[in-house]
Amino acid sequence: MGKPTGFLDYERVNNPSVDPKMRVKDFCEFHPPLNTEERREQAARCMNCGVPFCQSAMKLNGMVSGCPLHNLIPEWNDEIYNGNIEHALIRLRKTNNFPEFTGRVCPALCEAACTCGMNGLAVTVRDNELFLAESGYTEGYITPHIPEIRSGKRVAVVGSGPSGLACADQLNQRGHEVTVLEREDRIGGLLMYGIPNMKLDKGVVNRRVKLMEEEGVKFVTNADVGTGVKAEDLLNEYDAVVLCCGASNPRDLKVENRNVNGVYFAVDFLKSTTKALLNEEYEQGNFISAKGKKVVVVGGGDTGNDCVGTCIRHGCESVIQLEMMPKLPDERTKNNQWPQWPRVCKTDYGQEEAIALFGSDPRLYQTTVTKLISDENNNLSAVETVTLKAEKDENSGRTIMKPVEGSERLIEADLLLIAAGFLGSSPYVTNAFGVETDARTNVATEEGKYSTNVEKVFTAGDMHRGQSLVVWAIAEGRAAAHSVDLYLLNT
């Protein structure tokens, strides 16, 4: 523990944010870092607890608190405070393949479990992690590490999201020859096309992909396994196949007049903007645009928030975000004490920007869409909504949201974005390999295992556990790689 009184001497200071009215003018990241001395002070706040809950990933009251990667947080915070950046980075990379990703987009389960957060503000673990990652690149500590010995075994990883990349990275470092196949035109999966550029600059993704290529990983784009690329060819050509295709089936709305023009899934909307930016076609308007439109976003989660922020950058006339569930409390309740995940209302960057530009929070709670209204050309003109109330289901005991009679209202809308989550893996991929799926269409394995019912076929990430976080995807990819490595060593 570098400074025993650090948590008393220094207040928590986050990386600053560019003013909302300024940052919405472009798609650049907007959290400039603290300087090195300020970062050392933030690391000094770490108490080096005897029981570091921050790295535990405990499931409490149905939710996980603590890092799923079990990052050695007190160790590298101590090294940051003492100025040993390279040593700190070594400890961080021991458990996390891609701290430059999690340092930007992780909701920081570690901070929820930080002991400092019990009676005050948690340590800035995520910002400290990002500082280490970026220091690693700028100071030359992160360089290609090419395995000296190759096993002669070949592995195909299907999907290049965080789980696929983590799995490929681990297996490559074990000396196996790894090929990653991606159906899109660029590597990165949801890191590339699911997360907007202002949250995760695509240059950061490309930088990591280039490093992995230099280390020996092969990447193939426009390779749609299950259609253009046959499953049997991969099974014949490779010693193992790992399915990391994500939970790629968006949940649709079952509403009257669903087939009107102007309705898009959030993933397609966000992808079109990112592609336009990367292809330098944004100024030409070659994307699904919200410019000058009245937008309604269905879904109150991170993806819905990303849609709000993107629509504002397009120049929308207005934006409303619908959330089925009640608003969470602004502070912890008595039955949600530390170190549980804090079930409190979070105002994210997109909502902050809507408040700054339009003067009010865009979220409408306990509200859902019941009908879409179109004009004479079948273009969306309004959505009919209804208020919901929470009731206990007598059979299951679960809380369900029921419509309130007479609460219907119309909201003018030119564009409706569906950000209501995902329903599991793509059937054409699972059917092609003949792997079993569970009731939620996730690829089925034994509890804690990653091998499927098909010989030499493994799975990881959202395709395995359902829609989740980048940090969980990395953890799954690492665990699956270990399972594949043991399989290859015994075949």
The CATH number linked to 91 is 1.10.1060.10
Q: What is the CATH number of the domain that holds 378?
A: 3.50.50.60
Residue 74 in domain: yes
Place of tokens 């999201």: 161
Final residue in a domain of this structure, among 376, 396, 418: 418
Same domain membership, residue 405 and residue 289: yes
Q: Note the pTM of the prediction, 2 decimals.
A: 0.96
User: Residue 323: which domain range?
Assistant: 263-418
Question: 3-class DSSP state for residue 179?
Answer: strand
Structural domain count, the chain: 3
Same domain membership, residue 428 and residue 414: no
Final residue in a domain of this structure, among 138, 168, 201: 138
Q: Distance (Å, rounded) from C-alpha 378 to C-alpha 294? A: 16
Residue 258 in domain: no
Q: What is the DSSP letter of 118?
A: G
Residue 144 in domain: no
Tell how far CA 95 is from the center of its chain: 18
Same domain membership, residue 200 and residue 88: no
Which tokens is 73 given?
A: 């947080």
Same domain membership, residue 292 and residue 207: no
Same domain membership, residue 383 and residue 280: yes
For residue 464, how many other CB atoms are within 10 A of its CB? 30
Alpha helices, H only, 371-442:
427-433
* Residue of 272, 365, 367, 353 whose CA lies nearest to 318: 353
> pLDDT tens string for the chain (491 positions)?
668 899 999 999 999 999 999 999 999 999 999 999 999 999 999 999 989 999 999 988 888 999 999 999 999 999 999 999 999 999 999 999 999 999 999 999 999 999 999 989 999 999 999 999 999 999 999 999 999 999 999 999 999 999 999 999 999 999 999 999 999 999 999 999 999 999 999 999 999 999 999 999 999 999 999 999 999 999 999 999 999 999 988 999 999 999 999 999 999 999 999 999 999 999 999 999 999 999 999 999 999 999 999 999 999 999 999 999 999 999 999 999 999 999 999 999 999 999 999 999 999 999 999 999 999 999 999 999 999 998 988 887 788 899 999 999 999 999 999 999 998 889 999 999 999 999 889 999 999 999 999 999 999 999 999 999 999 999 999 999 999 999 999 98
Same domain membership, residue 207 and residue 194: yes
For residue 470, how many other CB atoms are within 10 A of its CB? 26
